Structures are given as structure tokens and as C-alpha cells.
Copies of this chain bind each other. A is one copy, B any other.
Amino acid sequence: MARAIIAGAGTLPALLLKAGPAHLVAFEGVEITCGGAPVIPARFEQLGHLFGALRAEGIDELCLAGAMSRPRFDPSALDEETKALMPRLMAAMGQGDDGLLSSVISLLEDEGFAVRAAHELRPDLVAGEGGLAGIPTERQLADAARARAVLAALGPLDVGQGAIVASGQVLGIETLQGTDAMLDFVGRTRPGSRGVLVKRPKRGQDLRVDMPVIGPDTVRGAADAGLAGIEIAAGGVLLLERRAVLAEAEARDVAIWATP
């Protein structure tokens, strides 16, 4: 098996390189950190070319890693294989993020590639059930339960990987703009709430795409927003730079724990 990581922004692609040798696929317009690994440049309009390059390197396993924004297609640059895929791609683009990415995975599988989740390559990046930093209060656990209920209700709609609740009041529900934008919103509109951020995959979400992530920035953002705790899904949220996350949590008095 030879592996390639389809690299989005952030540190995740570099972390996955530590799981073993891999090529990095770098789409035009995506800023990546290559860390010395061989890079295969790619364009969304030229998937036929990309598939050829992957096969030429003997690559049969792919992993999508890191944030990527929805591509804009330049119709004049389409190669033949991409042209043939366009009806399927256009239908996928009309769906929610999960729908789009699931379609992309099916397409890659139909091309003969195995698609792996980031935590299959690096099981040490997800947390087991239990406490990670600090000890949540009863109030925080109750707030987290309410946030989980909000996310469970929204899951079937392909919305919501995060929510913030303080003293029983819902202060933030994550939308397309992401966790950092939600934290900023809550910090500005309800500073010092001592609420809890809950991050979970959407119910039934394919973890091979858009797996939720927290890192030191998330803890900093939560503390800056006046929150007192972060609950993540055990086995379902990538913990980037665990040591830095825990140090930040201790320094800023933010409890972190994982529930099933």
C-alpha cells in the first residue's frame, strides 16, 4: 500500500505524515505545510490528471486532511475525465458539506482508491472517554448535555458540529463559519458566561471527511470567550497538539473531557 494525503490547511496533514511515509496532494490555492514529503500538485478541473499521477506513484490509499473551501471550477481548464464527472460533481456541489464530501469519497472509491479517516492513521489523535484537563462542575455537565441535545436535533439536517451553553441557555450554534467564529460571537455578545463548548461529529457523519478538530487555538478561543469547559466526543474529535492543548487548558482554567 502506498498512501497520499489530500492536504487542506492547518497542521493535520503534517501530523498524518508521522503515521508513515505518504505523498501530499496539494490543490491549487490551498496553503499546505509539506514537511519534506513529496508533493503532487493538483487542480480541481484536472482530476483525470491527478488520478493518473496517483496511479503512477502506486498510490492506492487516500486520506483527506484539513480544511478546504468549496472549489470554483474554471470550465475552460477541464480535462476529459473531469468533464465526464461534471454531472456527478455538480449534483454533489448542490448538497450540504457532508453530502458534497461523501460524494467526493464515493468518487474516489469508484476510481479504486481506499479512503481512510485521519484517526485510522493516527488513533492517538482522538481521546477516550474521561477527563483530559480539570474537573467539570455539575453545572458544566448539565450545560454540555443541553448542547449535545441541540446538536443531536440538528444532525439529520447536516448542520452543527458545535454548540455553546451557559447556565442552561444556548448561546451559540455552529454554522458554516466554524467554531472560531462562534466562539468570537459568544465572547462579544455574552462575555464571561462560564459556559461550555461541545464539539462532536454530526450524528451519522462519515468520519473520513470533515472530522471535528480541537487544538490549542480552540482552548485559547474558548477561554477568551469566557467559557469554562470543552466537551468532545470520545473517539470522534481530533485533538491536535495534545500537549499544548492540555497546557493551555491548565493555564486558562478550562476543563476538557470526552463523553461517548
Contact = CB atoms under 8 A, between A and B. Distances in A.
Interface of A: 94-96, 146, 149-150, 153-154, 156-157, 159-160, 168-173, 175-177, 181, 185, 189-190
B159 A170 contact: yes
B170 A175 contact: yes
B176 A181 contact: no
A-B pairs, top 3 by smallest CB distance, nearest first, are: A173-B173, A177-B189, A153-B153
A177 B171 contact: yes
Contacts of A149: 157
Given A149-B157, A153-B153, A181 B189 contact: yes
A95 B150 CA distance: 15
18 contacts: A96-B168, A150-B154, A150-B157, A153-B153, A153-B156, A153-B157, A154-B154, A159-B170, A169-B176, A170-B175, A170-B176, A171-B175, A171-B176, A171-B177, A172-B175, A173-B175, A176-B190, A177-B189
A160 B189 CA distance: 17
A173 B154 CA distance: 11
Contacts of A181: 185, 189
Contacts of A160: 173
Nearest to A178: B189
A214 B177 CA distance: 25
Best-buried of A146, A157, A160, A176 by chain B (most CB within 10 Å): A176
A175 B173 CA distance: 7
